Amino acid sequence: MPQIPGNAVGARFTGWGRALPPKVLTNHDLEGMFETSDQWIRERTGIERRHVGGTTAGLSIESGGLALGMAGVDPLDIDALVLSTSTPDRTVPATSATVQHGLGLKCGAFDVNAACSGFVYATVVAHGLIAMGARKVLLIGTDTLSRITDWDDRNTAILFADGSGAAVLEATDGPGQLLGWDIDSDGSAEELLFCEVGGTIHMDGKEVFRRAVRIMVDSAKKSMAIAGVTADDIALVVPHQANIRIISAACDRLGVPMERAAVCIHETGNTSSASIPLALFEAADQGRLSAGDLVLLVGFGAGMTAASVIIRWGV
Ligand code: UT7
């Protein structure tokens, strides 16, 4: 991926929000649905519970409204809405249309679908819009995977869940937060993880696992090279929350200790587009980030896609 031109208009996150549906499904609840155990799910995935319910638009409006409120931005001042989702409420129109109306925005709105890498793809797109003259962009990652999960399939039903994370991205006078970025896709791996229109998710879990670690690490290394930083410089890695063993293996290969990873999978399960913003903004809300810290966001997902960005927090 190219270097970011030195004269590009910079941008930074000025507000964020998180939304999880109130209904909680624990591992023990799943024990009553198919043959599995709380212990197996914890040990093999790191997941203890997950939130399910709601619609993609409803969760997006909730997290987006919180982000606008925190940033203190009038909805009428937003220049574009970018919604990352693989679970739109309708095939047409894009769910971003519903969200735009629900939040009272008057601007262009569109969905991005890059599966679980989607929020990082959308982050790159949003920075690009600012580089081209937009001043304020609302960026949301939301998925309601429970609606496309086969609840009789223990291979997938233990993993997937619902949630949303949002951020307001505003133009700044300085260079901004984005130091490096990478987006990748390998369509030859499509059959490993897919969902037909109107169907449910099919996944070759073992092969997805094997490739996930490699493609996350490759993407992260590309972004770090563009940013001119090393793993030692990264204060916080925010990986896609798919499986604690994938997160741990990726951190290991990157040479980043797990203490420097943002992890919320035990509470959320795999929420696809929402997983990275949920983990990032939970870490921010917990005071784990200081101005100037380098943060690596890195995702992978169906496609198979991978994407990463290096951002300098709070500049
Ligand atoms: O956003 C990206 C989405 N996807 C992913 O990231 C998924 C990546 N893959 C994974 O996370 C893992 O492959 C899974 C969690 C899906 C499965 O874990 P695994 O360690 O690869 O298990 P496995 O498929 O190798 O199965 C091991 C054993 C098998 O039994 P035997 O053949 O050894 O007797 C399975 O039948 O565990 C059994 N098993 C289960 N047992 C209890 C598989 N699923 C379950 C289950 N509960 N839910």
Q: Between the CA of residue 286 and those of 44, 100, 256, 281, 289, what are the distances in Å?
A: 27, 29, 20, 8, 8
CA of 243 to the centre of ligand 1 (A): 10
Nearest-angstrom CA–CA distance, 172 and 250: 33
178-312: same fold as 10-172? yes
Task: Based on the residue annotation, tell me whether 270 is a catalytic residue of this protein.
Answer: yes
pLDDT given for residue 4 in this prediction: 85
Angstrom distance (rounded) from CA 41 to CA 47: 6
Residue 240 catalytic?
yes
CA of 310 from ligand 1 middle (Å) equals 31
Distance of CA 112 to the CA centre of its chain: 12
Catalytic residue, candidates 116, 195, 251, 264: 116
Beta carbon of 161 within 6 Å of any ligand 1 atom: no
Task: Give Cβ neighbours of residue 7 (< 8 Å, ≥ 6 apart).
Answer: none
pTM of the model: 0.97
Predicted confidence at residue 306, as pLDDT, reads 98
The CA 41 to ligand 1 mean position distance, Å, reads 9
Model pLDDT, residue 118: 98
d(CA 161, CA 141): 13
Question: Could you confirm whether 195 is annotated as catalytic?
Answer: no
| Residue 46 near residue 266 (C-beta atoms within 8 A) | yes
pLDDT of residue 145: 98
- C-alpha distances out from residue 97 to 40, 57, 88, 178, 301, Å: 41, 9, 11, 27, 25
If one residue of 43, 44, 152 were mutated to test the ligand 1 pocket, choosing by the most ligand atoms within 8 A of its CB, it would be 44
Residue labelled with tokens 């982050």:
123
Say what the pLDDT of residue 42 is.
Answer: 98
- pLDDT value of position 289: 98
Q: Which CATH superfamily groups domain 10-172? A: Thiolase/Chalcone synthase (3.40.47.10)
CATH class label, 178-312: alpha beta
Per-residue pLDDT of the chain (315 residues; tens, 9 = 90+): 678 888 889 999 999 999 999 999 999 999 999 999 999 999 999 999 999 999 999 999 999 999 999 999 999 999 999 999 999 999 999 999 999 999 999 999 999 999 999 999 999 999 999 999 999 999 999 999 999 999 999 999 999 999 999 999 999 998 899 999 999 999 999 999 999 999 999 999 999 999 999 999 999 999 999 999 999 999 999 999 999 999 999 999 999 999 999 999 999 999 999 999 999 999 999 999 999 999 999 999 999 999 999 999 998
**Residue ranges covered by each domain of the chain:** 10-172, 178-312
How far, in Å, is the centroid of ligand 1 from the Cα of 287?
Answer: 34
